[in-house]
Amino acid sequence: MTKEKRLRFEHTVIDDKTLTTGNSVCLVADVNGNGFVDVIVGSYTSPPEEGYLVWYEYSDWKMHIITDEPFNPHILAVADFNNDGHMDIFVGEMGLGRHLNPRLFIYLGNGDGSFDEQIIDRGNPTHEAKITDIGNTGALDIVGKPFKPKTQVDLWKNMTG
């Protein structure tokens, strides 16, 4: 019989003064190219669903604001959408039937912790979106569905050459 090792974790508060008091979603990825995983957070106040997107730098956890613009940025995903070797961040706005022009963003990473915003769609809210390569083309696509008011499944096919 082998003796089981007990798992041990140490708790650290990365940020005790978040920008909103509402819901948050978290991801991890190396966004500044230093070889260490950073923490990415999208958060919003409910209501009125005003949100922000930030990343915290390992290891001092300094906060960097990417944007304070999104409406209910409930969907985040990290991937290299343009195949430049830098992590990009996908953000989808839910809409909730109250935001008439929800947007989908990709923040293209520059590899140094800075990002360039691209709006890839307007008017189609999404919830629980996933990133995948539909059709094995080598380009990352987005599949999602709205929370409300629409009832459909959407595909955003990456047509980048």
> Which residues, in sequence order, are bridge partners of residue 131?
142
- How far is 108 from 114, CA to CA, in rounded Å? 8
Could you tell me if 146 and 126 are in contact, meaning their C-beta atoms sit under 8 angstroms apart? Answer: yes
Tens-place pLDDT, residues 93-128:
887 767 778 999 999 999 999 999 999 999 998 888
pTM given for the model: 0.90
Token output for 119: 């709006």
10-residue averages of pLDDT along the chain (161 residues)? 86 82 84 97 73 93 92 88 96 80 95 98 91 96 86 94 64
> Which residues, in sequence order, are bridge partners of residue 32?
none
> Which residues, in sequence order, are bridge partners of residue 101?
none
Could you tell me if 64 and 53 are in contact, meaning their C-beta atoms sit under 8 angstroms apart? Answer: no
